[in-house]
Amino acid sequence: MKSDAKSIIESGKAILGIEFGSTRIKAVLIDQENKPIAQGSHNWENQLVDGLWTYSIEAIWYGLQDCYADLRKNVKKQYDIEIETLAAIGISAMMHGYMAFNKKEEILVPFRTWRNTNTAQAAAALSELFVYNIPLRWSISHLYQAILNDEEHVKDISFLTTLAGYVHWQLTGKKVLGIGDASGMLPIDPQTKNYSAEMMAKFEKLIAPKGYSWKLSNILPKVLLAGENAGVLTEEGAKRLDVSGHLKGGIPICPPEGDAGTGMVATNAVKQRTGNVSAGTSSFSMIVLEKDLSKPYEMIDMVTTPDGSPVAMVHCNNCTSDLNAWVSLFKEYQELLGIPVDMDEVYGKLYNNALTGDADCGGLISYNYISGEPVTGLAEGRPLFMRSPNDKFTLANFMRAHLYASVGVLKIGNDILFKEEKIEVDRITGHGGLFKTKGVGQRILAAAINSPISVMETAGEGGAWGIALLASYLVNNAKKQNLADFLDEQVFAGYSGVEISPMAEDVAGFNAYIESYKAGLPVEEAAVKCKK
């Protein structure tokens, strides 16, 4: 196998995927069977500058170059060869945010990431104007907020893009964006597979009194579907990616995508009636719809798959952080007793014990709000555990309550889809830290959204693998299959993971828990006001 991988890299048939996550930039090299054969990474952190979260242009390029250098080093170590050329490349990054450039290709203000919540006024106004939920983190919210703030730079905008769109542009010279990432800039019309012309016209009319020289249609990147031509790596781009000078230009690069799209691809959830749930520090669910929702909902974001199907996204700021903090407390207790600590064992014991508790957690309730939670209307968070004197306060119920809390807000959002909109799904795939202890997070999530949940071993490969698969789809799709069929047949070959179905008792218990949870939200609100 090692010699096969070596010859694939030597002959230039390997494919590279790079994803800019919020704390790590990761590179994955895959073979012609779409299996990872080498990896590289670079850790980085966002900075708070003048009250806004950002990554500097210097940090973006140093991070990309260091990540690629780490991949080169690992290829050299594993296979004793250099990467000279590749079959294809894909660039992906966290979605949304604001990167505005002038005619000289200079960035006008520091990159404003998706984390910034200074856009509430703009998002509310646009949601009303478009009759469509426009979240705070979307690019159009950032642009309109800058206009409302009378920011000097706005008149000079020549190009507005996302992080993935920016890096792709610098590597290829092409101002394009994959439809999934584009759907987090401005709403997409499912018929035209392009930005909504109606909403663009409304926006132009709204800002007309400002007299800007640009039109929205002229400053946004061109929308591309998965598999479409998005340009090639230029010679200059090759030097910027590989500072050692070994990599050559001319390599096809697939449309740049957002991390939501690559997550769908990595979990084989781009087909209509499928979905995926990512559950780690934060959580989100993405359900691929057969048609648009009947009306907009403030807690549901509408985006698309990399091939343009509508996707309902429920995004929660909090998931496992508070749960992890409680597990660390038990670790401290174990250390106090002088017992050696194996964290996998601690998690395994506590999680599995939780399944022996009452289905409704014996009345115990936990709010895992380390930060604010837009879905339940909380601007700030205060982790809170609550019980009444008559509740069944056992370790199993305590842990079960915290596991329920980790997906509680996700349930509130998804209940709209399944109960009010009557959405039907055939398969939902779970990935992320919550599912590390075999079977437990799966069973809890199955109960929360009353749907079978699959977990795949490959889901841990993450978004860099997902964008590498989209690059593979660009150059290895000889049969001209649609993306869903390509993934089914060429990548996953019918493997849908290990599935757990919801148990009736768990579902009833979770429903009882969530009613108490919703009734207790005023206590959480009071805690925010009280404890500064």
* The pLDDT of residue 356: 98
- Which pLDDT does position 23 carry in this prediction? 87
Q: Options 3.10.20.740, 2.10.25.10, 3.30.420.40, 2.60.40.350; which CATH number does 1-94+162-180+224-267+461-498 get?
A: 3.30.420.40
SS3 366: strand
Residues 6+ apart with CB under 8 A from 92: 17, 18, 19, 20, 164, 256, 257, 258, 259, 261, 262, 463, 464, 466, 467
What integer pLDDT is reported at residue 460 of this predicted model? Answer: 57
What values do phi and psi take at 99, rounded to 5?
-125, 105
Per-domain residue ranges for the chain?
Answer: 1-94+162-180+224-267+461-498, 96-161+186-219, 321-409+505-530
Per-residue model confidence (pLDDT) at position 307 = 96
pLDDT of residue 3: 62
pLDDT of residue 372: 85
Integer Cα distance of 130 and 118 in angstroms: 20
Residue 390 phi/psi, 5° resolution? -90, 0
Three-state secondary structure readout of 81-130: CCCCCCCEEEEEECCCCEEEECCCCCECCCCECCCCCCCHHHHHHHHHHH
Strand partners, 304: 310
Q: What is the pLDDT of residues 51-107, one digit of tens each?
A: 999 999 999 999 999 999 999 999 999 999 999 999 999 999 999 999 999 999 999
Instruction: Give the residue among 37, 15, 42, 38 at the shortest CA–CA distance from 26.
Output: 42
Options 2.40.10.10, 3.50.50.60, 3.30.420.40, 3.40.50.720; CATH for 96-161+186-219 is: 3.30.420.40
DSSP H or E stretch at residue 30: strand 24-30
pLDDT at residue 2 in the model: 63
pLDDT in tens, the chain (532 residues): 566 999 999 999 999 999 999 889 999 999 999 999 999 999 999 999 999 999 999 999 999 999 999 999 999 999 999 999 999 999 999 999 999 999 999 999 999 999 888 999 999 999 999 999 999 999 999 999 999 999 999 999 999 999 999 999 999 999 999 999 999 999 999 999 999 999 999 999 999 999 999 999 999 999 999 999 999 999 999 999 999 999 999 999 999 999 999 999 999 999 999 999 988 888 889 999 998 899 999 889 999 999 999 999 998 989 999 999 999 999 999 999 999 989 999 999 999 999 999 999 999 999 999 988 888 988 888 999 999 999 999 999 999 999 999 999 999 999 999 999 999 998 899 988 898 899 999 999 999 999 999 998 765 568 899 999 999 999 999 899 999 999 999 999 877 789 999 999 999 999 999 999 999 999 999 999 997 6
pLDDT for position 461: 65
Terminal alpha carbon distance of the chain: 58
Residue 460 token pair: 């841990």
For 224-235, give one letter per residue: b (16+ CB within 10 A) or e.
Answer: bbbbeebbbbbe
Q: What is the pLDDT, as a whole number, of residue 282?
A: 84
The confidence score (pLDDT) of residue 524 equals 95
Q: Are 463 and 435 in contact (CB under 8 A)?
A: no
Q: Is 124 exposed, middle or buried (0-12, 13-18, 19+ CB in 10 A)?
A: middle
Name the pTM for this structure: 0.89
**DSSP percent split of the chain into helix, strand, coil, nearest 5:** 45, 20, 40
Structure token digits, residue 428: 């939902």
The closest of 448, 449, 349 to 399, measured between CA atoms, is 349
**β-pair partners for 378:** 373
Domains 1-94+162-180+224-267+461-498 and 96-161+186-219 belong to one CATH topology: yes
